A and B are shown apart, each in its own frame.
Chain A
Amino acid sequence: MSNQQILLSVIFVPTLGAFLLPILERVSAGLRNWSALVFVLVSVAGSSLLAPLALKGQAVSVSHALPLGFNFVFTADGLAVFMALVSSFISAVIVLYSFGYISHYENQNEYYLMVVLFLGSMMGLVFSGNLIFLYLFWEITAITSWRLIGFFREKNDVFRADKSFLVTAFGALSMLLGFLMIYQQSGSFDLSVIKETFRFNPLSNTAIFLILIGIFSKSATLPFHTWLPDAGVAPSPVTALLHAAVLVKIGVYVFARLFVVNLSLGEFWHVAVPVIAGASALVSAGAALIDTNLKRIIAYSTISQIGFIFLGLAIGNEMAVAGGLLYILMHGLAKGGLFLCAGIIEQNTKTKDITKMGGLIATMPVTAIAFLFCAFSVMGIPPFGGFFSKFMVIVGTLQAGHVWIALIFILGAFLTILYLFRAFNMIFLGELKTPGVREGSAVMVFSVALLAFLSLAGGIFIRYPNEFVGLVLQPIFGMVR
C-alpha cells in the first residue's frame, strides 16, 4: 500500500466502516463489537505507519483540486500524526472498555456506529488540510456527540444533548464566519494557500476572535463551558471519549493547526488567550471543588486542564508548545482513565453522588489504584506523565515573562490537587457505604489499568514522548534554533 492509501484508509475505514456495524450485528453482536475495534485499530496502525515519514519532515499528502477553493486535501505532518495516534489509541481502549460497559443497554448498534464514526471524523479533522473539510468533520463530531449524549433517551438527557449541539454549532458557525474572512483574502480554503497569503499581512483580529469562539465552544472553555458538565449524562465511555480524551481536544488541535503552524497570532492574543484560559481553569476548578456528582467533577476538571493546554499553545515559545502537546497526550490518557473508573464505580454502585460512596478501595482495589494513578497524573505529581507537561507549560510561560499568568495557573494546579484528593477520599476511603459492590468486569478493569499504567510509564519514560514532540515541532520552530 502506498502512503497515500494508508492515509485515506486511516480516515475512511472507520468513517465508512461505522455504517457497516449495524449490518454486521445481523450476523452476531460479537462480530460487530470486534469489527468496531478493528476499524479503530486500523487508524492506530495507519497513523503509526505514517509516523516515521512525518517525523522526518516528509509530510504525506493526498490532494485533489475542486472548484471554489474547496480543494480536497489531506496531509499527514508531524502534528497531525501525533494527534491521530493519541486520539485513535485512546479511542481503541475506550471501544474495548465498551464491550463490558454497554452490553447492558439498548441501542448498541447506534452506540458503536456513533463511536466509530466519531473516531473516523476525528481522523478526518486531524489530517484535513482544508478549512472546509476541517469544518465538515468538526460538525460530524458534533452530530455524533449529540446522539451519544442523548443515548439514554431520558427527557433531561435529550435536553442536554440538544444544548451541547446548539452551543457547539453556534461556535462552529462563528468560526465559519472567521473562515469566510480568511477566504475573502486568500480566495481558497486550502491551508497551504492561506499560509502563503498571510505570511506577511496578519489576519484581522475580528477573524481571530470569531475562530476562537468556535475553538472555545468545542473545547469547553469559559464562557462556553457549561455544556460539558451537563454532557455527563452520556454513557461513561462516551464521556471519556468525547469529553475528556478526544472531543475537547479538537478545539485545542485546531488552535495549534491554525495559530501555531499556519498563521501567526498578534501580540495581544498571546496574552488574551492565556488570561481567558486562566479564568476558565480557576472557575472550573472551583466548581469541581464543590460539586458532588462524580462525573461532573471530572468534567469540570477537564475544563480546568484544557486551560493549561491553551496556555502552552498560546504562549507560543518552543518549551510551552511542546508542553501543550505533551499535555494533550498525558491528559488524554489520565482523564480517559478517570472517566472509565467513574463508569465502573457508577455502574456498580448505581449512583454518581460521591457523598453516598465511601470505602470502595476495599471492594474494588484495582479501580481505586487506577483512579489514584490517573489522578496523580492529572494533578501533576512526579514521576507521572502529567507532571512533565504541566512543568513545561509553566516554565514556558515564565520564559515568555508572564509571571502573573504563571501564578494563576500554579494556583489552578493547586486546586486540582485539592479537588481530586477530595474526590478520591470520599469515594474510596472511609467506611463502606454501599455494601455488596463488586469490581467491574475484566475487560473494563483491564482498560483502566492500562491507561493508569501508561500515565505512569509516560512519565518514567518521558524521553520518548518528549523526543516525539520535539520532532513534531522541529519544522515549526526549526528556523529559530
Chain B
Amino acid sequence: MLPLFILVPLFCLILLNVPPKAIVKRPAFWLVAALPLVQVFLTAFHPVAVWDEIRNPFNSYFIFNLSVDALSTVLLLSIGIVVFIAALVGRYTLSGETQRFNFFNLLLVAFLGMNATVMVQDIFALYVFIEVTAVASFILIAMQKDKPALEGAFKYIILSVVATVLMLSSIALIVMAAGDTSFAAVSSAIRAYPASVLVKVAVNLFLCGLFIKAGIVPFHGWLPDAYSAAPSSVSVLLAGIITKVSGVYVLIRMVVTVFGIEQSPQAVLMFVGALSIVAGALAAIGQSDFKRMLAYSSVSQVGYIILGLGCGTPLALAGAVFHLFNHALFKTLLFVNAAAVQEKLGTVDMNKMSGLSVKMPVTGATSVVALLSTAGIPPLSGFWSKLIIAMALWQSGQYAYTIIAVLASVLTLAYFLSMQRRVFFGKLQEGLENLTEARLGLILPAIILAVVTVGVGLAFPIVLDKLILPVQNILK
C-alpha cells in the first residue's frame, strides 16, 4: 500500500489540472488539506508496517522499493501535519485565486516528493525525489516575483545546485564501488571496503551536499534569505518540513542505514552540530526581522538534531528524531504566528511593534508555547527531546558537547524572550489601537499546533513508547 502515499497526491495533481480551471479552483483547498490530514491519522493511529505487508498491483510498476520503518513513520507524520498547516495558512494569506491555486498545486508536488523521499530504498531514487521537492520549493519561494523573493530563490537554487553536484558525484563514485544504488547494496559495499579512499570521498561528498540542503553552519547562508523572502505559507512549509526532509532526514538515513555510523565522520557531525547550535543562536540574537530570527533559530535547532545523530547511540538517535518531530511542530507554529503578525501589520520588523498580545491574545499565547518548547523548557515537547539528546551525549562521555547543548538553551531563551518582549509582551504600540486578532484561518492552525505541542509534552510516555523509542531499533 505504500505507493499510495505517492500515487494519491499524483492522481490529485492530475485531477486538479485536467478539468477547466474554473471548476477546480474552489475545491482545490479542500483536496489539498484533506490528503495530509488523512496521512496524519493513518500514521498516528495505525502501525505503518501493516500496510507494508499488504501487497498491491502498483508495486510491480515501480523500479524502486518503498519501505517504512520507525524513522520514516515519524517523518510521514510530521509531513502530514506541516503540509496541512501550510495549506490552511496559504488559503488565508495568499491573495488572488490563481496564486492560491498555483500554491496548492506546488504544495501537492512538494508533498508527494517528500513522502517519496522518506520511503525510497535507493540512493538514486532518493536523489530524484529530493530534486522534485526542491524544484517545487524554488518556485514557491519566488512565487511573489518581487526582488527579495527572486533573490532568495536564486540563492537557494545556486546552493542547491552545488549540493546536487556533490551528491551526484558521490552517487557516481558509489556506483563504481557497489555496482548498484539500492541502500542494501551500497551499505554492504561500504562495509566491505571501510578503508577505501574512494568510499571515504563518496561518503564525505554526499554529507557535504546534505549539510547545504539542511542549512547547517557554515553552509547556512541561503536559509535566512529564503525563509524571510518567501510568502508566509511557504516559509511555514520550508522551515517546518522541506529542509528537514531533504536535508536532515536524508542525512540521518544515509548515516544510519546506508553508510553506517562507524563509517561516518562522527566527530565532524558533532562538531558541526554544536557549531550550528551556538552560531545560529548568536546570529538569532542580533536579528530584528521576525522571520530571519526564526530562520537562524532553525539553524540552531537543526544543530541539536545533527549533534544527536553524531553521537550515534540508539538513544541519541531517538532523541534526534524526536527533536526533528518537535521542531516541525514548534517552528511551524512560530512561522504561523509570524504570518499572523505580517498579515495584520504588514511588516515583520520587530522594532515597529510592541504589546501585540493585548490585541492578538491567541497569537501571543501560542507563540509563548512555541518559544518555550524551542528553548527546551518543560513541560513542553521540546524539553523531552533535548533532554534525551543530553542524556545520550552524557552517557557516551561527550561532556563538553552536553554542556554546550544544555547551556545553549539559555541563548535560545534569550533571543526568544527578546522577541516576545519586542513583539507581544509589553505595552501596546501607539497607533495600533484598532488592531484585531488575525482571522480564524490563521488562529486555528496556531491553536492546533500549540495543543499538540503541549499534548506531546504532557503525554510524553505514550509518544516515546509508540513513536520515538522504536527508532532505536534501526541501530540495533
Interface residues of A (CB under 8 A from B): 66-68, 70, 72, 132, 135-136, 139-140, 142-143, 150, 153-155, 158-159, 161-162, 165-166, 169-170, 173-174, 176-177, 180-181, 183-184
> Judging by beta carbons under 8 Å apart, are A170 and B469 in contact?
no
Chain B residue numbers with a CB within 8 Å of A153 are: 355, 425-427
Q: List 9 A-B contacts (CB under 8 A).
A: A68-B315, A132-B387, A150-B425, A154-B426, A165-B413, A169-B377, A169-B410, A183-B391, A184-B395
> Judging by beta carbons under 8 Å apart, are B406 and A67 in contact?
no
Q: A150-B425, A154-B427, A166-B414 are in contact. Are A136 and B378 (CB under 8 A)?
A: yes
> Judging by beta carbons under 8 Å apart, are A68 and B464 in contact?
yes
> Judging by beta carbons under 8 Å apart, are B417 and A165 in contact?
yes
> Judging by beta carbons under 8 Å apart, are B409 and A169 in contact?
yes
A162 CA / B422 CA spacing, docked (Å): 12
> Judging by beta carbons under 8 Å apart, are B407 and A180 in contact?
no
A66 CB to nearest B CB, Å: 5
> Judging by beta carbons under 8 Å apart, are B417 and A162 in contact?
yes
Q: Quick check: is B271 within 8 A (CB to CB) of the other chain?
A: no
Interface residues of B (CB under 8 A from A): 315, 355, 372, 375, 377-379, 383, 387-388, 390-391, 394-395, 402-403, 406-407, 409-410, 413-414, 417-418, 421, 425-427, 460-461, 464-465, 469
Q: A155-B426, A180-B394, A184-B395 given. 20 additional CB < 8 A pairs?
A: A68-B315, A68-B388, A70-B460, A70-B461, A132-B387, A139-B383, A143-B377, A150-B425, A153-B355, A154-B427, A162-B417, A162-B421, A166-B413, A166-B414, A169-B375, A169-B413, A173-B406, A176-B387, A181-B394, A183-B391
> Judging by beta carbons under 8 Å apart, are B378 and A67 in contact?
no
B124 CB to nearest A CB, Å: 38
A132 CA / B390 CA spacing, docked (Å): 13
Chain B residue numbers with a CB within 8 Å of A142 are: 377
Chain A residue numbers with a CB within 8 Å of B383 are: 136, 139
A56 CA / B285 CA spacing, docked (Å): 54
Chain B residue numbers with a CB within 8 Å of A166 are: 410, 413-414, 417
Neighbour of B391 across the interface among A68, A165, A173, CB < 8 A: A68
Interface of B is mostly: helix
Chain B residue numbers with a CB within 8 Å of A136 are: 378-379, 383
A154 CA / B355 CA spacing, docked (Å): 10
B277 CB to nearest A CB, Å: 13
Chain A residue numbers with a CB within 8 Å of B407 are: 170, 173-174
Q: A136-B379, A165-B413, A170-B410 are in contact. Are A177 and B403 (CB under 8 A)?
A: yes
Q: Which residue of B lies closest to A70 (CB)?
A: B461
Chain A residue numbers with a CB within 8 Å of B375 are: 169
Neighbour of A173 across the interface among B410, B426, B460, CB < 8 A: B410
A140 CA / B413 CA spacing, docked (Å): 14
Interface of A is mostly: helix
- Report how many A-B pairs have Cβ atoms within 8 Å: 79
Neighbour of A66 across the interface among B372, B418, B461, CB < 8 A: B461
A439 CB to nearest B CB, Å: 31
A143 CB to nearest B CB, Å: 7
Chain B residue numbers with a CB within 8 Å of A176 are: 387, 390, 406
> Judging by beta carbons under 8 Å apart, are A158 and B421 in contact?
yes
Pick from A135, A143, A176 the residue with the most CB of B within 10 Å.
A176
Chain A residue numbers with a CB within 8 Å of B387 are: 132, 176
A142 CB to nearest B CB, Å: 8
Chain B residue numbers with a CB within 8 Å of A162 are: 417-418, 421
A67 CA / B464 CA spacing, docked (Å): 8
The 5 closest A-B pairs by CB, nearest first: A136-B378, A162-B417, A180-B394, A66-B461, A158-B421
Pick from A135, A136, A143, A165 the residue with the most CB of B within 10 Å.
A136
> Judging by beta carbons under 8 Å apart, are A173 and B402 in contact?
no
Chain B residue numbers with a CB within 8 Å of A158 are: 421, 425-426
Q: A143-B377, A155-B426 are in contact. Are A180 and B402 (CB under 8 A)?
A: yes
Q: Which residue of B lies closest to A109 (CB)?
A: B361
> Judging by beta carbons under 8 Å apart, are B409 and A173 in contact?
yes
A136 CB to nearest B CB, Å: 4
B458 CB to nearest A CB, Å: 10
> Judging by beta carbons under 8 Å apart, are A67 and B390 in contact?
no
A173 CA / B460 CA spacing, docked (Å): 20
Q: Which residue of A lies closest to B388 (CB)?
A: A68
Chain B residue numbers with a CB within 8 Å of A180 are: 390-391, 394, 402
Neighbour of B377 across the interface among A66, A132, A139, A170, CB < 8 A: A139
A140 CB to nearest B CB, Å: 7
A150 CA / B425 CA spacing, docked (Å): 8
B178 CB to nearest A CB, Å: 38
Q: Which residue of B lies closest to A162 (CB)?
A: B417
Chain B residue numbers with a CB within 8 Å of A184 are: 394-395
> Judging by beta carbons under 8 Å apart, are A155 and B464 in contact?
no
> Judging by beta carbons under 8 Å apart, are B469 and A67 in contact?
yes
A258 CA / B216 CA spacing, docked (Å): 40
A11 CA / B395 CA spacing, docked (Å): 32
> Judging by beta carbons under 8 Å apart, are B378 and A139 in contact?
yes
Q: A155-B426, A170-B410, A173-B410 are in contact. Are A135 and B469 (CB under 8 A)?
A: no
Chain A residue numbers with a CB within 8 Å of B402 are: 177, 180
Chain A residue numbers with a CB within 8 Å of B406 are: 173, 176-177
Chain B residue numbers with a CB within 8 Å of A161 are: 425
Chain B residue numbers with a CB within 8 Å of A150 are: 425-426
> Judging by beta carbons under 8 Å apart, are A155 and B461 in contact?
no
Q: Which residue of A lies closest to B395 (CB)?
A: A184
A106 CB to nearest B CB, Å: 9
Chain A residue numbers with a CB within 8 Å of B315 are: 68
A166 CB to nearest B CB, Å: 6
Chain A residue numbers with a CB within 8 Å of B395 are: 184
B177 CB to nearest A CB, Å: 39
B424 CB to nearest A CB, Å: 10
Pick from B315, B383, B391, B395 the residue with the most CB of A within 10 Å.
B391
A160 CA / B427 CA spacing, docked (Å): 15
Chain A residue numbers with a CB within 8 Å of B409 are: 169, 173
A180 CA / B394 CA spacing, docked (Å): 7
B55 CB to nearest A CB, Å: 34
Chain A residue numbers with a CB within 8 Å of B417 are: 162, 165-166
A142 CA / B391 CA spacing, docked (Å): 23
A155 CA / B469 CA spacing, docked (Å): 44
> Judging by beta carbons under 8 Å apart, are B379 and A140 in contact?
yes
Chain B residue numbers with a CB within 8 Å of A177 are: 390, 394, 402-403, 406
Q: Which residue of A lies closest to B365 (CB)?
A: A110
A362 CA / B189 CA spacing, docked (Å): 92
Q: Which residue of A lies closest to B407 (CB)?
A: A173
A127 CB to nearest B CB, Å: 16
Q: Which residue of A lies closest to B397 (CB)?
A: A184
A159 CB to nearest B CB, Å: 7
Chain A residue numbers with a CB within 8 Å of B378 are: 135-136, 139-140
Chain B residue numbers with a CB within 8 Å of A169 are: 375, 377, 409-410, 413
A276 CA / B39 CA spacing, docked (Å): 58
> Judging by beta carbons under 8 Å apart, are B421 and A159 in contact?
yes
Pick from A139, A155, A158, A173 the residue with the most CB of B within 10 Å.
A173
Q: Which residue of B lies closest to A187 (CB)?
A: B395
B283 CB to nearest A CB, Å: 18
Q: Which residue of A lies closest to B414 (CB)?
A: A166
Chain B residue numbers with a CB within 8 Å of A170 are: 407, 410
B200 CB to nearest A CB, Å: 33
A166 CA / B414 CA spacing, docked (Å): 7
A8 CB to nearest B CB, Å: 15
A72 CA / B355 CA spacing, docked (Å): 39
A142 CA / B413 CA spacing, docked (Å): 12
Q: Which residue of B lies closest to A121 (CB)?
A: B379
B392 CB to nearest A CB, Å: 10
A250 CB to nearest B CB, Å: 15
A111 CA / B378 CA spacing, docked (Å): 21
A73 CB to nearest B CB, Å: 13
B9 CB to nearest A CB, Å: 35
Chain B residue numbers with a CB within 8 Å of A132 are: 387
A19 CB to nearest B CB, Å: 10
